[in-house]
Structure formats: C-alpha cells, structure tokens
Amino acid sequence: MSSLEDYLRSLSLDYLNLLINGQAFSDVTFSVEGRLVHAHRCILAARSLFFRKFFCGPDTPAGLDASSVGSGSRSGGSGGALASSPRGGPNSQVIPVNSVGYEVFLLMLQFLYSGQVSIVPQKHEPRPNCGERGCWHTHCTAAVDLALETLAAARSFGIEQLALLTQKQLESIVEKASIEDVMKVLIASRKQDMHQLWTTCSHLVAKSGLPPEILAKHLPIDVVAKIEELRFKSTLARRSLMSEQHHHHHQHDLTADLEDQKIRRMRRALDSSDVELVKLMVMGEGLNLDEALALHYAVENCSREVVKALLELGAAEVNYPAGPAGKTPLHIAAEMVSPDMVAVLLDHHADPNVRTMEGITPLDVLRTLTSDFLFKGAIPGLTHIEPNKLRLCLELVQSAALVISREEVGGGDGSGGANTSTTIYPPPMGNEDHHHSSGGARGGNVGNLNLDSRLVYLNLGASSHINEGDSQSDAMNRGGCDPSSMYHHSHHNY
C-alpha cells in the first residue's frame, strides 16, 4: 500500500506534467525572452496571491507594472480580468514578461505547479558566466547568479516559500564560492533583508583577509565598516584563547606524535598482512581506523584478503569520507579500476550513491572512465587499463545502485517510490526512438514538449538508473559514455 508521501509525490508530478506538456488545457500564455510558455490560470491563482490579484483584481498588484507584463494584457471591461475568448480558450492572450529571464521564470512556475524545485544549473552545461570546462556548477559564478536571480524573482512575485528555499541554497553555495561571489550574495542579502544569509556572508568576507581598500571597491562603505567590526571582535576572541591554548600546546604536540606513530605502525602491519596486530591496536591502544584512513590505505596498497579481514573487524566505516574531497574507499577502488576491491567493498555494504564534496559518486567515476576510454582511447592518470576490468567494475556498481533503488521504492518494481534520484523523464537524445514509453510518467509526450529540455531536468533527477528490462551492456553504453563529463583523478588526494 502506497504511503501518503507517494500520493503527494504523484499529485505533484501530475501537475508538473501539465506545465511540461505545454498547451494541454492551457488558458494563458506568457512571452519570456521571445519564447512562449503556456500555463493555467487556476493553478497560478491558487498558488500565488500575486497572480490571483493580477487575473481577478481590478488593479495591477504591487510590483507589477506595464514594463513587466505589458499594459495591453488586462481588460478593463471585465473587471480587470485578462482578456480571453468567451470559453477561455488557449492562446487567446499573450502576456509579455520582461523583468524575469526565461530559465528563472520556468523555475518559478515549476515551484508553483509542483511545490519543489532544484535551483542549480545542469551539470557540465556550458554557461556564459562560468568559463571552467566541465564544471559541475555546484558553487561557481553560474550557480550563484542563477540563485540570486531566482531569489529576486521569488520576492518580486511574492512567492516566499521559494525565496526561503533559495536562501538555503545560497547559504550552502557561499561556503565554497569565490570571495567575489560571496560579496555579491552579501549585497543581495542586505537588499532582501535576509539576516541569516547576511551573517554567513559577512563572516566569510571577514575571514577572507582582503584589506578595507579592496573591499570598498565592491561593497558600500557602511558594509565595509561592519566587516572591520567583525574582524576586531574576532581578533579579541583569538587573543583571549591564545594563553589557554599555549598551556596545552606542548601536550597536544606529544599526543599528535603518538597518533602519527600509531598510524605508521598500522600501515606497516597492513603492508605485511598482519591484521591481528591492527586488531590489537584497536582494542588495546584505542586506534581509530576511520581517522587513520586504514580502509582507504588498504584498498589502495594491500590485497583483497587484507581489505576483507579489515572490514570483518567491524571497527571501520565502509563509507567513511576522507580528506577535503570526501572520497570513500569505493571511490578509490573505482578510480583504480579494481573489480576485486569493488566487489569486497560492495559485499560489506559500501554505498555506490555516496557523493564526494563535489557531488561525484563511485558510479560517476566509472562512467567517466568508460567515456574517456571509449571516446579518447586513454584515461588521465592511468597508463594502462584492462577493458574487461573497467566493464566489470561498472556493472558491479550499477547493479548495486539498482538494488538500492529498488529497496528504496519498497517493492523493486521501480515505479512511484521514494527514490528522488530516479529520472522521471528520459533525457532528450535527438531521436524519439531512444525514449522508453513504459513506466507511467515516462510517457510519449516528451518528444512534443513546448518547453525546452531545460525544464525536464528541473529537480527531476540528475542521474538515470537501469530499467528493469535493460541488459548490463545496454546500461553501460547508455549511462556510462558521456564524453562531456569530467573527473580529475588523484589516488592520493582523498
């Protein structure tokens, strides 16, 4: 029996299908950047007080003037309602929208129709404000600009829930964004009166170390004064801690030396396959295998038997993320193209869907390696590779991901479950024969969309899973050969 969440998700997708399928039952059309967007007045009015006032009220709502929707779009002879045919037929009125870009307008409509949206550009999609080739757009200028434009549009159209969602997105982005982009968000948070976002950005700018004269070129003078005040308070706090830290500094150095000695002994034991000694160090000396990156080291330098014995100790987390990149042992095994290591890790519940700090899964790693091998004939960082091992690794990880997907949807039929990463619509491939017509929401109308393919990807999942009837080889050829994906390998940079 389906849960309430399943019904709500199905309802959300049904409404979103109305928007995606364009003119179906549409009774209002917008023109944004020269492109037509067909919508439905009843949905917009029900979900937005702004649109309700626009369609039904006698006056244009605050913030909406002739420059944003066009003075000719309203009819004074019908109480301010939009002019339309007697039965409200489609294409009876085109409303120009000049204050919001096409992409942001689609994001806003998607949120109004479905209650959910992902405010990030498509991975590897070329963006004019991002010059990095193959960028994942998680915290680059393109991601910041799209979020800021969406925030401004949400506030302009009075969609507060979307504004709050975008604010949370920006709070996550600025932690890794460039200082120039952080300052842009800082100014926007001040204008939009978003205190939490202001606090986050102001502290990041204060920590940047940029001198006041440089900050003054990008920020108002009163904002620079606030930044300098934060720096002064931070300096006082550091000085108050210095005396206390000095007292413990010597003891801390001794402790760190002891820990380094433990790690060196542990690695020597693993190199000699002496897992029993490692076990004694865990039990008698309190060695933390995760903090020592024991499993990562064993995967990269030892045999399959050593890795298996280490896992069977039960003292190491198989999905532990290492270093600033956040790679798990399965990421390392995938980069090495080692079927033995991949298999033993999956046997001990390694997660093929866990992501690094850059959002990359072990499955992404193997798909990119396959793409490089098939389309370039070589893989950066690997001087020699055996195709059979690469294929086997990919099939093992894909199979594990499929099993997890089926478990999450509660029944393994791959339909209507709680797995939000499942792609609802197949990506456009330039040939409608590539689209699967089975599976509910995978309908045949996708080839006739009035909206561009950008809308199909808005929060409908970034990765495809293998269909139940597909063979592993088909899955490899379809899901693992994207020549546009980029992944830089470094076996020692966890």
DSSP string for 137-154 = -SSSHHHHHHHHHHHHHH
pLDDT recorded at residue 311: 92
- The mean pLDDT value for 97-102 works out to 91
- pLDDT tops 50 at residue 416: no
SS3 307: helix
Q: Is 267 left (phi over 0), alpha (psi -120 to 50) or beta?
A: alpha
pLDDT classification of 249: cutoffs 50, 70, 90: low
- The mean pLDDT value for 88-97 works out to 65
- The mean pLDDT value for 369-381 works out to 69
pLDDT recorded at residue 262: 81
Cβ atoms of residues 307 and 345 within 8 Å: yes
- pLDDT tops 70 at residue 391: yes
Q: Any idea of the CA torsion for 406, 408, 409, 413, to the nearest 10 degrees?
A: 10
SS3 442: coil
* Mean pLDDT score across all residues of the chain: 75
pLDDT recorded at residue 269: 86
- The mean pLDDT value for 387-414 works out to 80
pLDDT recorded at residue 459: 33
Q: Is 425 left (phi over 0), alpha (psi -120 to 50) or beta?
A: beta
Whole-number percent of the chain with pLDDT over 90:
36
| d(C-alpha 310, C-alpha 318), whole Å | 10
pLDDT classification of 136: cutoffs 50, 70, 90: confident
pLDDT classification of 410: cutoffs 50, 70, 90: low
Q: How many CB atoms lie within 10 A of CB 148?
A: 21
Within 8 A by CB and 6+ apart from 203, the residues are 230
- pLDDT tops 70 at residue 446: no
* End-to-end Cα spacing for the chain: 43
pLDDT classification of 268: cutoffs 50, 70, 90: confident
For 215-239, write each residue's pLDDT tens digit. 999 999 999 999 999 988 888 777 7
Angle at which helices 141-156 and 102-114 cross, to 10°: 60
Cβ atoms of residues 363 and 487 within 8 Å: no
Of the two residues 473 and 392, the one the predictor is more confident about is 392
| d(C-alpha 2, C-alpha 4), whole Å | 7
Question: Which residue reads 């002879």 in tokens?
Answer: 77
Tell which residue, 152, 176, 196, has the closest CA to residue 186: 196
Cβ atoms of residues 149 and 102 within 8 Å: no
For 41-91, write each residue's pLDDT tens digit. 999 999 998 999 888 876 655 444 434 443 334 433 333 323 333 333 444
Top mean-pLDDT range of 16-25, 172-181, 418-427: 172-181
pLDDT classification of 105: cutoffs 50, 70, 90: very high
pLDDT recorded at residue 343: 94
Question: Which residue reads 């096409």 in tokens?
Answer: 102
- The mean pLDDT value for 417-441 works out to 37
- pLDDT tops 60 at residue 452: no
Tell which residue, 469, 468, 435, has the closest CA to residue 453: 435
For 296-335, write each residue's pLDDT tens digit. 999 989 999 999 998 998 888 999 998 888 999 999 999 8
SS3 60: coil
One DSSP character per residue, 99-129 reads SS-HHHHHHHHHHHHHS----SPPTT--BTT
- The mean pLDDT value for 250-256 works out to 51
pLDDT classification of 483: cutoffs 50, 70, 90: very low
For 203-219, write each residue's pLDDT tens digit. 999 999 899 999 999 99
Does this model's pTM top 0.85? My answer is: no
| d(C-alpha 65, C-alpha 494), whole Å | 53
Top mean-pLDDT range of 56-70, 224-238, 424-438, 454-468: 224-238
pLDDT classification of 435: cutoffs 50, 70, 90: very low
Q: For 192, list phi and psi in degrees, rounded to 5.
A: -85, 0
Whole-number percent of the chain with pLDDT over 70:
69
pLDDT recorded at residue 17: 87
pLDDT recorded at residue 324: 84
Q: Is 25 left (phi over 0), alpha (psi -120 to 50) or beta?
A: left
